[in-house]
């Protein structure tokens, strides 16, 4: 039987004059790689922050690993790992020190810490750099370290908000290898946002949101069939009237310098 590890119920976030997330309801199955797609400003980050208990919903709620995000935030936090857009590593510490600190925060049993750190560093190919200061790391290495850190307490669900944005194609490919490995070996559920359509093809199922509302949900082949489209890009354009990579801050002639900086992080 399919078990729902994430159950979202009428989740809503209102800001003055704006409904950022508008009555979302859907479920994520245990062990799947679930893609959460939408154009810039659709409400992806707001949704993922509410699910991760960092932001309180205006209405509605969600159950994660059986725990309610509003009423049982501590149990939810123990059930999840997070890799968010804003990097949160301590640059003054080594890779290993960052992981030890996280293990303490999450009460990883003391006798387990060394073994787990070794395992996650191995997985993201950073074992030989563990004693280097994080500030000497490239963007891709930092992202890999954040993924390693997100896994250290063996979360049931790993939330990734645009984990590959701004990375070169090789690093993006590697990160996808880790994601698939995690899923195969540890049956961790992955909930990720992306605006790379080709990455959405790697997900078992995807939800497409626009203006805070769910507009489609299904596996990539199902969605292509349903919308008689030859690609997910086409599905996306039919549903939202625009391309997913519009307005994403990708540097282009005349684009703002801020967008450029955002992408280079």
With contact defined as beta carbons under 8 Å apart, do 67 and 4 qualify? Answer: no
The whole-angstrom separation of Cα 208 and Cα 224 is: 13
CB-CB contact of 24 with 213 (8 Å): yes
Decide: is 18 part of the binding site for ligand ADP (CB under 6 A).
yes
Residue 261 binds which of ligand ADP, Mg ion, none (CB < 5-8 A, kind-dependent): none
If one asks whether residue 43 binds ligand ADP (CB under 6 A), the answer comes out as yes
Least Å from the CB of residue 46 to ligand ADP: 3
Residue 153's binding partner, choosing from Mg ion, ligand ADP, none, with beta-carbon cut-off 5 to 8 A by kind? none
For residue 76, the partner it binds in Mg ion, ligand ADP, none, with Cβ less than 5 to 8 A by kind, is none
Nearest approach in angstroms of CB 49 to ligand ADP is 8
Judged by CB under 5 A, does residue 189 bind Mg ion? Answer: no
Min separation Cβ 43 and ligand ADP, Å: 4
Pairwise CA distance, residues 104 & 84, whole Å:
20
Give all strands (DSSP E) within the chain, no chain letters: 4-15, 18-29, 33-37, 59-64, 67-68, 80-83, 157-161, 189-194, 205-210, 213-218
Size of the site for Mg ion (CB under 5 A): 2
- Exposure string for 140-174, b = 16+ CB within 10 A, e = fewer: bbbbbbbbbbbbbbebbbbbbbbbbbbbeeebbeb
Q: In this complex, which beta carbon is closest to Mg ion, that of residue 45 or of residue 189?
A: 45
Q: Of the ranges 36-44, 120-128, 148-156, 163-171, which one interacts with ligand ADP (CB under 6 A)?
A: 36-44
Range in contact with ligand ADP (rule: CB under 6 A) among 1-9, 33-41, 169-177, 227-235:
33-41
| 45 lines the binding site for Mg ion (CB under 5 A) | yes
d(CA 84, CA 32): 19
Pick the binder of ligand ADP from 8, 42, 151, 208 (CB under 6 A).
42
Tell me how many degrees the CA angle 133-136-137 measures, rounded to the nearest 5: 100
Binding residues (CB under 6 A) for ligand ADP: these are: 15, 18, 20, 38, 40-46
């Amino acid at each position: 039987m399919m078990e729902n590890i994430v159950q979202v119920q009428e989740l809503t976030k209102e800001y003055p004059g704006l409904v950022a997330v508008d009555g979302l309801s859907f479920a994520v199955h245990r062990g799947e790689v679930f893609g959460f797609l939408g154009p810039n400003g659709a409400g992806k980050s707001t949704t993922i922050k509410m699910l991760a208990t960092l932001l309180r919903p205006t209405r509605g709620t969600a159950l994660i690993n059986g725990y309610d995000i509003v009423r049982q935030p501590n149990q939810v936090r123990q059930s999840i790992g997070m890799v968010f857009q804003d990097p949160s590593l301590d640059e003054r510490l080594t890779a290993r020190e960052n992981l030890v600190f996280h293990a303490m925060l999450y009460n990883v049993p003391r006798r387990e810490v060394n073994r787990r750190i070794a395992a996650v560093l191995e997985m993201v190919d950073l074992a030989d750099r563990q004693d280097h200061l994080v500030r000497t790391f490239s963007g891709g290495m930092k992202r890999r370290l954040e993924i390693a850190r997100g896994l250290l307490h063996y979360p049931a669900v790993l939330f990734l908000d645009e984990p590959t944005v701004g990375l070169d194609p090789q690093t993006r490919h590697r990160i996808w290898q880790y994601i698939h490995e995690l899923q195969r070996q540890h049956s961790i559920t992955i909930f990720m946002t992306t605006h790379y359509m080709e990455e959405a093809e790697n997900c078992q199922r995807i939800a497409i949101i626009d203006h805070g509302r769910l507009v489609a949900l299904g596996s990539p082949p199902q969605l292509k069939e349903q919308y008689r489209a030859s690609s997910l890009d086409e599905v996306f354009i039919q549903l939202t009237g625009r391309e997913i990579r519009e307005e994403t801050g990708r540097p282009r002639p005349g684009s703002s310098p801020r967008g450029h900086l955002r992408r280079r992080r």
